[in-house]
Chains A and B, each alone.
Chain A
Amino acid sequence: MSGTAGTGGLQVLLRGGMIVDGSGEREGDVLVEGRTIIAVGTGLVHASGARVLDCAGCVVSPGFVDIHTHLREPGAEGAETVIAGSRAAALGGYTAVVAMPNTDPPADSAAVVRDVLALGEKALCQVAVAGTITVGRQGERLAPIGEMRELGVRLFTDDGRGVQDAGVMRRALEYAAGLGVTIADHCEVEELSAGGSMNEGRTSSLLGITGIPAEAEEIMVARDIALARRAGEGARLHLMHLSCAGSVSLVAAAKREGLNVSAEVTPHHIMLTEALLTGFDPVFKVSPPLRDERDVMALREGIAAGVIDAIATDHAPHPAEDKEMPLPDAPPGMIGLETALPVAIEALVKGTRPYGTENGDTCGESGSGADRGDGGGSVIAALTSDALVALLSRNPAKIAGLDVASEGRQGGVIEQGAPANIAVVDPAAEWTVEPGRMSSLSRNTGFAGRRMTGRVRHTIFEGEPVVIAGEAQR
């Protein structure tokens, strides 16, 4: 096949990678022109002036899609902006993110959605917007879901809080079912989690820190599944950042039953445990909290079994001063866009024992990765590259309505005529996480000092090479 027939626009040739997109792994070049892949094959000829990017030894994947990103704009531009967040995303291989609506003001109206979409027009990846379920994220009255849908919003969530009132959640699921959009819930019963800063478990017991029991999540997962069943045909429920074993079992049962339920986990919940809080460093305070090793392994098993559909970062930037507060006062969350892929490789391909387990280190501040490769704990088969691509790209694109079948441009097969949203990953690259060198405006990574395997080499967003050789181009 040759693909030099040009329609104008910059040509980019991705030379010599292994294409992994769910339709069979194959070696080949990918030629992009304008916003489209115009040829896939070997020995492709490119127009003069084309940008040729070396992909030898790399996996060429559809661009990753993060369905859980806090871009903090409007309202907390010191922590992150749409542009800075999109740059971090591009460096992590993402060609689309879904901006969470818990901004100030929240995205609970067409006006705010329109603003964020406009900010995203100059971003280094597609910026889709999630709308809130309820006005002001107060959990009382439904937000104008239909009006926001007209602007392309497909995912609705009060993330940061769960919808506490079961009656409100029932109406939300039913109303959204009628409109063909998805309700995504942050599952946390506040009566059980109030005042908590970490998992309720052995570490919280010894440290005297008020815990958040797993049941705070499991009860709401169970409730939401029951309400989705009641809402009937068309109801689509997505469960965000699941953190514990009980939730995995509940989702597995719901899927066996045939309900339209999907679930995500974060990179940190499959690699870090509660024991990292022993040093009282609020960087490890996240919501839901880091759990114990048993939960971490259950999440990994849930991924391997297909119960968990997607990895989503819950990228939650916070300025340093906020993470230097006393633990109960510090806001929860850690950044994740630039480390999601290597953390997923560590947990799911290499099967490294979670950081903060008994034989591993628990300080978290000068992590050395010393507990890598001892084989302790993990008996889960290593994920294939294609399974990773499904978790990072194909499945999340579908959940967020950004896939080709939903008239979106993400997560598809790499073939002639397809949108040119591509991540090129060097799966063997070794590097160390240095917070000061990250692109996010915030530094609150839980992986500072950790050795990572696997790094994004190039990212192509709508035909534009926004990341080349690990460097953002704008």
Chain B
Amino acid sequence: MSALGRHLLSIDDLGRSGIEGLLEIAASFAEVVTRDIPKVPALKGRMVATLFAESSTRTRSSFETAAKRLSADVLSLTTVASSMAKGESVKDTVRTLRAIGADALVVRHPAEGVPVQVARWTEASVVNAGDGCHEHPTQALLDCFTLQRHFGGGAGGGGGQGFLEGARVAIVGDILHSRVARSCTKAFVSLGARVTLAGPKTLLPTFAGEWPAELSCELEPVLYETDVLYLLRMQRERGAGVFVPSEREFAHLYGIDERRLGMLAGKAVIMHPGPVNRGVEMTSAVADSDRSLALDQVHNGVAVRMAVLYLLVAGGGAVGKEADGGPAIGAPGFPGADR
């Protein structure tokens, strides 16, 4: 059985076993990307289209790399360089992409819910690559994968299951405008972590009682109790600037410098979804320190997105059957066929 249905629009589409299943598959693909020829034929002849209506460096290149390493054809569209710039609607655009032959649409849009709307308009599988302030599910998955690899391999044992059980995660900064916070909170909590959201009251979510998390406007007491410190970018483009007196004051109250780094437990790590506002969320020294997993996050994004595209497009079973029950990608123990 596949860990995923037809679309990945929200972390809600997975649940704990879905996340864990996906991370297992991602681990197989992580091995693939270390090979001399880091490519498998799993999605040969299939087409993955990326439709990005908002700027992106890592997410888009990560998805396209993932698709190419699965041998899919990649069709890449941005708002500026498509007919959307001439006023073509999202609906017409996605129907056009499907007519061309896209099996999966990877959608990023500045408006919340657009991938959900797109899923109503197309037969293709839809992956939410970040919609406004709503969700960014593959970011949360790659963060889980990164934490599993960091914490799970050794001490946790047992294949890394339960690597976040009881872990204390603090997500800090502009929660209100953060799709990463919405996806990560759900994912971390469903894997057993205790999540604290910390930041100025104006950037914490309204009606936060609905969130499965603790809240704090004071950062330093939280730091002493944190295993994973997850820093968020100030979303200047969403007007976050008016929610605090200044970025200087934000950095003063909530930025991580070497002094605050010292308040963290010895094994604690720092994560950031990028891009970093250096000097705001953290100083350059912290960003470049060995406590930061930021580049691991980016690196792991490829394997995780390979797993997502594989499950959605190949259905998590079809490809395995082609190879007579054996794993089509040639990875020993690849779990695609029998899940």
Chain A positions near chain B (C-beta within 8 angstroms): 195, 200-202, 204-211, 279-281, 321, 324-329
Q: What CA separation (Å) do A207 and B177 show in the bound complex?
A: 11
Contact B134 A208 (CB under 8 A): yes
| Complex interface residues of chain B between 101 and 155 (CB less than 8 A to chain A) | 109, 111-114, 116-117, 132-135
Contact B206 A200 (CB under 8 A): yes
Cβ contacts under 8 Å, B182 to chain A:
206, 208
Cβ contacts under 8 Å, A205 to chain B:
205-208, 210-211
Chain A minimum-CB-distance residue to B116:
A280
Chain B minimum-CB-distance residue to A321:
B89
For chain B, the count of residues having a C-beta within 8 Å of the partner chain is: 26
Q: What CA separation (Å) do A206 and B134 show in the bound complex?
A: 8
B91 at the interface (CB under 8 A from A): yes
| Complex interface residues of chain B between 52 and 105 (CB less than 8 A to chain A) | 89-91
Q: What CA separation (Å) do A206 and B113 show in the bound complex?
A: 12
- Of A321, A324, A325, A327, which is within 8 A of B112 by CB? A327
Chain B minimum-CB-distance residue to A211:
B206
> Which 6 pairs from chain A and chain B are nearest by CB?
A280-B113, A208-B133, A326-B111, A205-B207, A208-B134, A202-B210
B179 at the interface (CB under 8 A from A): yes
Q: What CA separation (Å) do A202 and B239 show in the bound complex?
A: 21
Contact A280 B206 (CB under 8 A): no
Contact B89 A325 (CB under 8 A): yes
Cβ contacts under 8 Å, A195 to chain B:
239
Task: Report how many A-B pairs have Cβ atoms within 8 Å.
Answer: 65
Chain A minimum-CB-distance residue to B9:
A280
Quick one: given A209-B134, A326-B90, are A204 and B206 in contact (CB under 8 Å)? yes
Contact B206 A207 (CB under 8 A): no
Chain A minimum-CB-distance residue to B117:
A280
Contact A326 B109 (CB under 8 A): yes
Nearest CB of B to A448, in Å: 14
Cβ contacts under 8 Å, A321 to chain B:
89
Contact B117 A207 (CB under 8 A): no
Cβ contacts under 8 Å, A324 to chain B:
89, 91, 117
Nearest CB of A to B241, in Å: 14
Most chain B CB atoms below 10 A, which of A207, A279, A325, A329? A207
Q: Could you write out 11 A-B pairs with CB less than 8 Å apart?
A: A200-B206, A202-B210, A206-B182, A206-B210, A207-B113, A208-B177, A208-B182, A209-B133, A209-B134, A326-B109, A328-B132
Contact A208 B179 (CB under 8 A): yes
Q: A205-B211, A281-B117, A327-B111 provided; 13 other pairs, C-beta below 8 A?
A: A200-B206, A201-B207, A204-B206, A204-B207, A205-B205, A205-B210, A206-B211, A208-B133, A208-B134, A210-B133, A280-B116, A324-B89, A326-B117
Q: What CA separation (Å) do A333 and B111 show in the bound complex?
A: 19
Cβ contacts under 8 Å, A206 to chain B:
182, 210-211
Contact B206 A326 (CB under 8 A): no
Chain A minimum-CB-distance residue to B182:
A208
Nearest CB of B to A48, in Å: 57
Nearest CB of B to A331, in Å: 14
Cβ contacts under 8 Å, A207 to chain B:
112-113, 134
Cβ contacts under 8 Å, A326 to chain B:
90, 109, 111-114, 117
Nearest CB of B to A186, in Å: 24
Contact A327 B208 (CB under 8 A): no
Nearest CB of B to A207, in Å: 6
Quick one: given A208-B133, A280-B117, are A329 and B111 in contact (CB under 8 Å)? yes
Cβ contacts under 8 Å, B134 to chain A:
207-209
Most chain A CB atoms below 10 A, which of B134, B135, B239? B134
Nearest CB of B to A449, in Å: 15
Q: What CA separation (Å) do A66 and B52 show in the bound complex?
A: 44
Q: What CA separation (Å) do A201 and B207 show in the bound complex?
A: 6
Nearest CB of A to B156, in Å: 31
Cβ contacts under 8 Å, A329 to chain B:
111
Q: Mark B206-226, 1 if CB is under 8 A from A, else 0.
A: 111111000000000000000
Contact B90 A208 (CB under 8 A): no
Cβ contacts under 8 Å, B177 to chain A:
208
Q: What CA separation (Å) do A205 and B177 show in the bound complex?
A: 10
Q: What CA separation (Å) do A279 and B120 show in the bound complex?
A: 10
Q: What CA separation (Å) do A325 and B117 show in the bound complex?
A: 9
Most chain B CB atoms below 10 A, which of A202, A205, A329? A205
Cβ contacts under 8 Å, B112 to chain A:
207-209, 280, 326-328
Nearest CB of A to B140, in Å: 14
Q: What CA separation (Å) do A365 and B210 show in the bound complex?
A: 24
Q: What CA separation (Å) do A201 and B210 show in the bound complex?
A: 10
Q: Mark B181-208, 1 if CB is under 8 A from A, else 0.
A: 0100000000000000000000001111
Contact B91 A279 (CB under 8 A): no
Q: What CA separation (Å) do A208 and B179 show in the bound complex?
A: 7
Q: What CA separation (Å) do A326 and B206 show in the bound complex?
A: 22
